[in-house]
Every structure is written in C-alpha cells, then in structure tokens.
Amino acid sequence: MTGWISETPALDALDAGARALLAPLEAMDLPRGAVLFRPGETVAHFVLVLSGRIEVYLTGANGREILLYAVEPGQTCVQTTLGLLGASDYSGEAITATPTRVVLVPRATFLRLMEGSTGFRQLVFAALAARMEEVIRLMERVSFQSVESRLASWLIARAEAGRVLATHAEIAAQIGSAREVVSRRLDAFARRGWVRTERGAVEICDVAALRRLAASS
C-alpha cells in the first residue's frame, strides 16, 4: 500500500478496491504561493490535501478579491468537486498558503471511485456539505456583519503572540472587503489604542476591546 494512503486519516474508511485505484498516485510537495488553478481552466483532477493549506479566492470585475474558503487536510475543494461532477470550469483561483503536500486524482479515477466506492462517495459528499455550510456562513458574514466586526474577529483568530503578519490587501481578501476600507478601519483601531500597525503586520494592544467589537454586529 502506498504510504500516503495509510497516513491519511480521512481515507481510513476506503475499501480495498478504492485503495488499489489510489495506490499508483504519488504525493506532490508544493511551495507556498503555488497556483493550483485559475479562473476558466478545466477541472482535471480531484485534490487530496495531505498537509498544509490551500486558499481559494474569487476576483471581481473591479479586481477586488475575497477568500472563498481554505482547504486543509481532510477537506475538499468545492469548485473541484462540482467541476468534476458537472463538467464546469473553475471560476476561482487556488493558491497554497503554506508549503503543501497534495495528491492529484485524475478525473477518470475520481469518477470510477464515485461510481464504485461507497466510502469514497461518503468522504466527498460529507466534505462537500461541510464546505457549502462554510460558504453560506461567509455569505452571511459579508452580508450582515459589519466590516469592523469581521476585521476584529479575523485579527483575534489569526494573531500569534499578539501579532498578525499580513498586509492590508491580504486582510481585505480574507474578510471580504477592500484594502482602502481595511486601512481606514485599522487606523481607527490604532487611534483608539486597540492595535499598532506597521508594514506587513498588526500588533494587538487591547484584545478585550476587539473581542467586544467582534461579538457585535
């Protein structure tokens, strides 16, 4: 048995036939910043993430980006799944956020597994359902939660030792806003003494204040 299969908990429920189909496939190591797909490209593979993180973005006509979702070990890419099942092209862009190890399952193998392996179907549809719930929650946050509240929540969640390493443009893509808006909100937070900003980083000075704001709408 290929080592990566036995080392991937999400595949524990697969039957012997499914494992045999996956066994010839080799894992690939991708550096941070590698592009897996772009809008308009044909969906040719199902991506199994063994380690690391892939982020999928949508870009509007005005150039504004929004992080649609991230794919980590045990999760699947909804655009890839829907593209393979419905023969549609990608509408987003997928970029590795960290060094990432993946296995690319060819379309033909994916369809054989979907047809013949109950365990694989359950894996795909369970992950797809969870991903769709996340997308719906994202839509709710962008539609109904204020930018200030989303920004405060994101800063708290991403802080390590009280600091967040990200540019204003990166933060804007993550919370579904524009870079100029994020810059103004961070300036306002800084004037209140809640954060300190520097090039490519935000230092949190008053986490309690940010938590109160994050809990509000």
Asked whether the predicted pLDDT for residue 85 surpasses 60, the reply is yes
Q: Which pLDDT band holds residue 111 (cuts at 50, 70, 90)? A: very high
The pLDDT of residue 156 is 93
Q: Which pLDDT band holds residue 137 (cuts at 50, 70, 90)? A: confident
DSSP code at position 11: G
Q: Using H for helix, E for strand and C for coil, what is the string for 129-147?
A: HHHHHHHHHHHHHHHHCCH
Structure tokens at 122: 């359950």
Q: Work out the burial of residue 72: count CB atoms within 10 Å of its CB; fewer than 13 is exposed, 13-18 middle, 19 or more buried.
A: middle
Q: Which pLDDT band holds residue 1 (cuts at 50, 70, 90)? A: very low
Percent of the chain whose predicted confidence (pLDDT) is above 70: 94
pLDDT higher for 214 or 33? 33
186 closest CA partner among 216, 217, 152? 152
Helix (H, G, I), strand (E, B) or coil at 124: helix
Asked whether the predicted pLDDT for residue 2 surpasses 60, the reply is no
Distance of CA 145 to the CA centre of its chain: 20
Structure tokens at 55: 């982020």
Asked whether the predicted pLDDT for residue 39 surpasses 80, the reply is yes
Q: Which pLDDT band holds residue 132 (cuts at 50, 70, 90)? A: confident
Region 107-132 average pLDDT: 90
In this predicted structure, which of 4-18, 21-35, 118-132, 137-151 has the lowest mean pLDDT? 137-151
Pairing of strands 45-51, 54-59: unpaired
164 closest CA partner among 206, 198, 210, 124? 198
Please provide the DSSP assignment of 72-119 as one string: -TT---HHHHHHHHHT----SEEEESS-EEEEEEEHHHHHHHHHH-HH
Q: Domains of the chain by range and CATH?
A: 3-143 (2.60.120.10), 145-215 (1.10.10.10)
